[in-house]
Amino acid sequence: MPTPPLKLDSPPEAGSSQIVNASYLTLSLPHPPQLFYRHGWQSWSLAAWTEPTPLPVQRPAILHPLQTDPHYANDKSPHSSWVGAVEFDEDDILLLGSLGLDAHVWLNENQLEGDALRPKGVSKGQHEADECEWFIARGNEKSVFAKYAAELGKRFGKRSSKPLPRVWCSWYSLYTAIDESILHRIFDDLNDLPFDVLQVDDGWQLSIGDWEANEKFPSGMNALAEKIKSTGRKAGLWLAPLIAVESSRLFQEHPDWFLRSENGKFVSAGFNWGEQLYALDTSHPAVLEWLSALIKQVRAWGFDYLKLDFLYAGALPGKRFMDLPREEAYRGALKIMRDAIGADAYFLACGAPIIPSLGLCNALRVGPDVSDKWEDPRDATLLYNFTTPGTRNAIRTSINRLWLQPLVAVDPDVAYFIEQENALSLEQKQLLQDLALICNFKATSDLPQWMTSAERESLRGFLQAAPQVKQLSRAKFQLDDRIVDFSSALALPNPPRGLTKLPATFLGWLGNRPFALNMFHRLNESAFRKKRGRAEIESSK
Ligand code: 9PG
């Protein structure tokens, strides 16, 4: 029997906080709020202060498992994962946050509702009372989020991430068009820049699921790590251990390791690389054994900075081998990977469910990918999708997750310094650089062959900078004696209205077709190869 809902008719006094136990609770609001803080489920999902009204469902739906918590993607009431807050007035914020692994908050008819019941279809005992602790606080934004973070820290732990690494990452310049020879050249050309880690991203593996060097890395992964270490830096590697594409050997050989729904069908983990993605069952003993061996192999190759990506797949709804709540199964797998990584190596979690990753990773990506463009109007205005790559999306969500800083190093993704091959304005690039300074997590993918000497010096200055940071308001920060204003990134465009609804519906439909996504993928891949070609020409000049 479900426990009766706990109903709190009066919110706490300003400045106070309390912890209550309930599976389901409602908190009446004294008057209608002006804004609602919604916190997306995983790294790439939107976190923002918005109107206290429902937002259009983001599209395409085929990407919901990859971009949102798919179980709640179509909710009519404003929804938030683990923690939600309302603003009555400036400095009068009411926060409702779960201290458990699986809980959600809605704003509904002038009340905040918190639900820790397991989502339907997850387990047989789904409507058993699954009590969790709820943290309720009222006061100014900074204090209510700081108190919530402190309570999370007591339960999930913190992990020291010092010293914060300065990373060169291959993704945002060459994407999948990397190979041994161009990376070697880049690693050499970065010689005098103060990077701590050179991280190889997507493009080295045989397939998503088959984590071995492909033909573009004929000397193998050991040699790649050796090359990086010979330059005096730590070797970093990207992999997505909890997913596999349909065509991978892993999926073909072990279909029983993959998550299925109650009706026995494979659960979709989204669509990327022109293929359907599937999720490993993070409760399956053979999967856990395989994961541990995989991570140990990567460590044995010599990599000591691991960017583990697409981790949301470990917590998708489905019927697991063990009857565990999905986020608990995810956290179990993450613990096993953390142990395999070892305490002395660095673990950056990406595409990861936020709260269940705390205490286990050194750093956490807290927003969508940046890109060399500010915003894609197709995604923002027509598809109402703020999780796709784009600098504005990345800044918006990362700024709204800075309250996680006492718990984990927050990674806002890379900053850009170059003019070549980049459509961002100087001001937009500066915002990204300033965000990185605020997070003190500094990374770039800029290619040395595309940097002017002035740009190279500005990158060097950035890597060496350690400004005093003070948050002045939601959007404004003081960095030493400079004021930085992120307002231009924080707002959301208006939902499609009137005539724009037509192309929006068509695009939403088209974006749901695997053939269309596949076509986009092929176009992207060809653009990446051209980019690589241009990089090659530049470096031989
Ligand atoms: C490699 C990349 C980079 C990047 C990661 C991740 O469809 N999507 O919404 C989507 C979001 C992010 C994403 C890929 C797809 O990028 O964040 O840094 O490592 O994978 O493939």
> Which three-class secondary structure string do you get for 209-252?
CEEEECCCCCCHHHHHHHHHHHCCCEEEEEECCCEEECCCHHHH
Residue among 230, 228, 233 at smallest CA distance from 204: 228
Structural domain includes residue 49: no
CA-closest residue to ligand 1 atom 8:
388
Among 133, 156, 179, where does a domain finish? 156
CA-closest residue to ligand 1 atom 2:
202
Ligand 1 centre and the CA of 249: distance in Å? Answer: 22
Q: Does 353 share its domain with 298?
A: yes
Among 156, 183, 214, where does a domain finish? 156
Check pocket membership of 200 for ligand 1, CB cut-off 6 A. Answer: no
Token pair 């209608």 is at which residue?
A: 32
The pairs formed by 294-297 with CB atoms below 8 angstroms and a separation of 24 or more are 294/211, 294/239, 294/241, 294/340, 295/241, 295/337, 295/340, 295/341, 296/340, 297/211
Structural domain includes residue 31: yes
Residue among 506, 426, 415, 424 at smallest CA distance from 462: 415
Q: Does 117 share its domain with 203?
A: no
pLDDT mean over 154-176: 90
Number of domain units in the chain? 2
Indicate if the pLDDT at residue 183 is higher than 80: yes
Q: Which two tokens stand for residue 458?
A: 């500005």
Indicate if the pLDDT at residue 126 is higher than 60: no
Indicate if the pLDDT at residue 124 is higher than 80: no
Q: Does 113 share its domain with 180?
A: no
Ligand 1 centre and the CA of 388: distance in Å? Answer: 9
Structure confidence at residue 443 as a pLDDT band (50, 70, 90): very high
Instruction: Check residue 127 and give its pLDDT.
Output: 39
Check pocket membership of 411 for ligand 1, CB cut-off 6 A. Answer: no
Q: How many CA atoms lie within 13 A of 40 on its CB side?
A: 34
Instruction: Check residue 500 and give its pLDDT.
Output: 83
Q: Are strands 234-239 and 346-349 parallel, antiparallel or unpaired?
A: unpaired
pLDDT above 70 covers a percentage of the chain that reads 96
CA–CA separation, 393 and 217 (whole Å): 33
Check pocket membership of 369 for ligand 1, CB cut-off 6 A. Answer: yes
Could you read off the pLDDT of 488-503 as tens digits, one per residue?
Answer: 999 998 888 888 888 8
Check pocket membership of 379 for ligand 1, CB cut-off 6 A. Answer: no
Instruction: Check residue 466 and give its pLDDT.
Output: 95
Structural domain includes residue 46: no
Q: Are strands 197-200 and 166-169 parallel, antiparallel or unpaired?
A: parallel
Q: What separation in angstroms does the CA of 280 have from each of 228, 242, 414?
A: 31, 5, 29
Check pocket membership of 443 for ligand 1, CB cut-off 6 A. Answer: no
CA-closest residue to ligand 1 atom 4:
369
73 in Cβ contact with 57 (< 8 Å): yes
CA–CA separation, 217 and 213 (whole Å): 6
Structural domain includes residue 76: no
CATH code at 438? 3.20.20.70
Q: Does 129 share its domain with 187?
A: no
Q: Does 137 share its domain with 239?
A: no
Indicate if the pLDDT at residue 123 is higher than 70: no
249 in Cβ contact with 282 (< 8 Å): no
Ligand 1 atom with least separation from CA of 413: 18
256 in Cβ contact with 280 (< 8 Å): no
Structure confidence at residue 353 as a pLDDT band (50, 70, 90): very high
The parent domain of residue 448 ranges over: 167-540
Ligand 1 centre and the CA of 436: distance in Å? Answer: 19
> How many CB atoms are located within 10 Å of the residue 91 CB?
12
CA-closest residue to ligand 1 atom 9:
388
Helix (H) or strand (E) holding 181: helix 180-189
Of 38-47, 115-124, 439-448, least confident by mean pLDDT is 115-124
CA-closest residue to ligand 1 atom 17:
369
Could you read off the pLDDT of 257-278 as tens digits, one per residue?
Answer: 999 999 999 999 999 999 999 9
Instruction: Check residue 2 and give its pLDDT.
Output: 55
Mean pLDDT rounded to a whole number for the chain: 93
Could you read off the pLDDT of 228-249 as tens digits, one per residue?
Answer: 999 999 999 999 999 999 999 9
pLDDT mean over 448-476: 97
Structure confidence at residue 201 as a pLDDT band (50, 70, 90): very high
Ligand 1 centre and the CA of 308: distance in Å? Answer: 11
pLDDT above 90 covers a percentage of the chain that reads 84
Maximal CA-CA distance, the chain: 73
Instruction: Check residue 497 and give its pLDDT.
Output: 83
CA–CA separation, 398 and 420 (whole Å): 26
Token pair 């493009």 is at which residue?
A: 203
pLDDT mean over 31-56: 96
Q: Does 246 share its domain with 366?
A: yes
Indicate the length of the chain as a whole number.
541
Ligand 1 centre and the CA of 369: distance in Å? Answer: 6
* Backbone Cα Rg of the chain: 23
DSSP state at residue 495: P
Q: Which two tokens stand for residue 368?
A: 């969508």
Structural domain includes residue 61: no
Structure confidence at residue 295 as a pLDDT band (50, 70, 90): very high
Residue among 147, 46, 49 at smallest CA distance from 107: 49
Q: Does 373 share its domain with 441?
A: yes
Choose one of 169, 176, 208, 272 to mutate for the ligand 1 pocket test, by most ligand atoms within 8 angstroms of C-beta: 272
Choose one of 67, 171, 306 to mutate for the ligand 1 pocket test, by most ligand atoms within 8 angstroms of C-beta: 171
Q: Does 277 share its domain with 200?
A: yes
168 in Cβ contact with 415 (< 8 Å): no
pLDDT mean over 371-387: 94
Structural domain includes residue 58: no
Instruction: Check residue 498 and give its pLDDT.
Output: 83
Residue among 20, 9, 39, 41 at smallest CA distance from 131: 20
Instruction: Check residue 131 and give its pLDDT.
Output: 79
Could you read off the pLDDT of 339-348 as tens digits, one per residue?
Answer: 999 999 999 9
Q: Does 280 share its domain with 148?
A: no
Q: Which two tokens stand for residue 146?
A: 């700081």
CA-closest residue to ligand 1 atom 15:
272
Ligand 1 atom with least separation from CA of 369: 17
Structural domain includes residue 94: yes
Q: Does 405 share its domain with 313?
A: yes
Q: Does 146 share its domain with 174?
A: no
Instruction: Check residue 160 and give its pLDDT.
Output: 72
Burial 495-527 (b: 16+ CB within 10 A, else e): ebeeeeeeebeebbebbeeeeebeeebeeeeee
Q: Does 331 share its domain with 479?
A: yes
CA-closest residue to ligand 1 atom 3:
171
CA–CA separation, 433 and 121 (whole Å): 44
Which stretches within 369-495 are classed as H helix? 377, 391-399, 426-439, 453-464, 487-490
CA-closest residue to ligand 1 atom 1:
202
Indicate if the pLDDT at residue 508 is higher than 60: yes
CA-closest residue to ligand 1 atom 12:
369
Among 111, 128, 156, where does a domain finish? 156
CA–CA separation, 346 and 307 (whole Å): 8
Indicate if the pLDDT at residue 36 is higher than 50: yes
Residue among 321, 184, 242 at smallest CA distance from 66: 242
CA–CA separation, 196 and 229 (whole Å): 10
Structural domain includes residue 56: no
Ligand 1 centre and the CA of 389: distance in Å? Answer: 8
Instruction: Check residue 178 and give its pLDDT.
Output: 97
Token pair 């927003």 is at which residue?
A: 367
Quote the Cα angle for 345-351-352, to 5°: 70
Check pocket membership of 445 for ligand 1, CB cut-off 6 A. Answer: no
Check pocket membership of 67 for ligand 1, CB cut-off 6 A. Answer: yes
Instruction: Check residue 469 and give its pLDDT.
Output: 97
Ligand 1 centre and the CA of 276: distance in Å? Answer: 15
Ligand 1 centre and the CA of 521: distance in Å? Answer: 13
Ligand 1 centre and the CA of 170: distance in Å? Answer: 13
Which stretches within 277-419 are classed as H helix? 285-301, 326-341, 354-357, 377, 391-399
